[in-house]
Amino acid sequence: MGEIDFLYQDKFNEECGVFGVINVKNASEVMYYGLHALQHRGQEGCGIITSDNKTLKQVKGLGLVNNVFNEKVLASLEGDSAIGHIRYSTSGGGGIENVQPFLFRHHTGNFGLCHNGNIVNSRELRRFLEIHGSIFQSTSDTEIFAHLIKKDNQTNRVEAIKQALNRLEGAFAFLALTEDKLYVMRDKNSLRPLSLGKLNGGYVVSSETCAFEAVGAKFVRDILPGEILIIDNKGNMTSDFYAKKTYNNMCAMEYIYFSRPDSDIEGMNVHKSRKEAGRILAKESPVDADIVIWVPDSSTSAALGFSEESGIPIELGLIKSRYIGRTFIQPSQAMREKGVKMKLSPVPSIVKGKRVVIIDDSIVRGTTSKKIIDLIKAAGATEVHMRIASPQITHPCFYGVDTSTFDELICARHSLEEVRDIIHADSLEFISIDGIHKACNRTKMCVSCFSGKYPTHVYRELDEANKDGKF
């Protein structure tokens, strides 16, 4: 798996998180705590750009927020406005050149830019821009948006942004910062979350509402699909839209896995949605078992719901090591084989002699599920059943998640019974697509990785995902 931590190989990884501040004193300090609250959305790099109403200053680096920023660095980032970004690389690869926010200097005005999501027509747009003279400094698709803005002949920046956004296909939550304004932009399908909060007379914007609690901000509202929200350094706010038709297609995996349980996504608390998913899963796929355990940590809420609905007592059957993180990379083959055991340890006195049902949030590749089940059986469980609080993942995601081919997905290549046999489970069931809609209290959201029905055009991506023609 190269430099990606093998312990995370059986989970989705989300691209990044964004945070913005305007008209708030010591914006860089507020930004630090905001980004720290979003750290679960990416650990490969982070950056901050601040404005003191005259100039834009930038600091970015590889690693965690507390590794890149300290008091001295934050003190150098003066100003009452800022944008920040934490990164997990799914588009463009790693390296400092792809760490955001980007700072662009242009004769029409300088601006900083960062983005959560993925532009599915980035290749065509990059080729078009390069033919017309654009020179790229990174391989990130975020930079494409900046070049589209700069290429536009519009003297009105908002109109230039509108035209640029209308050329993009995919999922995005953009933040742009000039010397005196913060621009907040969300794609017309609302695939990625983005919310507005108020803090000490100013405003903050975040990929997740959990960051509002971290900085003491009060939630105001969600950014609307297709909206361009502009806030200046005096607190004036204007709203516009780049698309006439907009849609409510929030990514289901935001509820299931990506977001922190204390975040609210468009009015629904993440913990509550996961707990309800567990309840629905227990109704849809009951099992005779002695105890319920969960795979830490994103499955905790679903396990609670499953236990309450089924009446099967919940126990702490797996312990997660807090000392093996994303820096534990490129191990020897012998260490690879012991990797899951180093990350997760069963509690033999809890599982021995018991019929165990394990609750997990998803199965992507299947490798870790098999190893976990083997661990539980080796610890003395008489039966191990698996219940998954998401539907079967049968199609790649092209909207900022690191699965781009069918070959990566075990449920795309095998039947339910084959998957059960491969992972050594005594039984295996997934929540239904209808069930996950009910759990999230939504009639519409993006479930393309479960259904294969995508909210945007992804024809080229599907062809590349199916290179060998198997699917």
- For residue 203, what are the β-bridge partners? 22, 198
For tokens 């759990």, name the residue. 439
Q: What whole-number distance in Å separates Cα of residue 329 and Cα of residue 20?
A: 32
Q: Could you tell me the CA-to-CA distances from 343 to 2, 242, 260 in Å, in that order?
A: 19, 46, 20
Q: 320 with 7: CB under 8 angstroms?
A: no
Whose CA is closest to 228, among 278, 194, 275?
Answer: 194
- Residue 101: asked if its preceding bond is cis (omega within 30°), the reply is yes
Pick from 453, 428, 381: nearest CA to 281? 428
Nearest partner of 159 among 171, 170, 148, 169, judged by Cα:
148
Q: Taking each helix axis from N to C terminus, what angle separates 270-284 and 300-310, rounded to the nearest 10 degrees?
A: 40
Which residue among the candidates 16, 210, 411, 449 is catalytic per the annotation?
A: 16
Q: Omega into 297 within 30° of 0, i.e. cis? A: yes
What region does 266 belong to: left with phi over 0, alpha with psi -120 to 50, or beta?
Answer: left
Closest C-alpha to 369, from 334, 409, 397, 330 = 409
Burial class (CB in 10 A: 0-12, 13-18, 19+), 417: exposed
CA distance 332 to 14: 26
Measure the CA–CA gap between 422 and 369, rounded to whole angstroms: 9
Confirm whether 397 is a catalytic residue: no
> Measured at the alpha carbon of residue 224, what is the angle toward residues 144 and 52, in degrees to the nearest 5?
60
* Positions marked active-site: 16
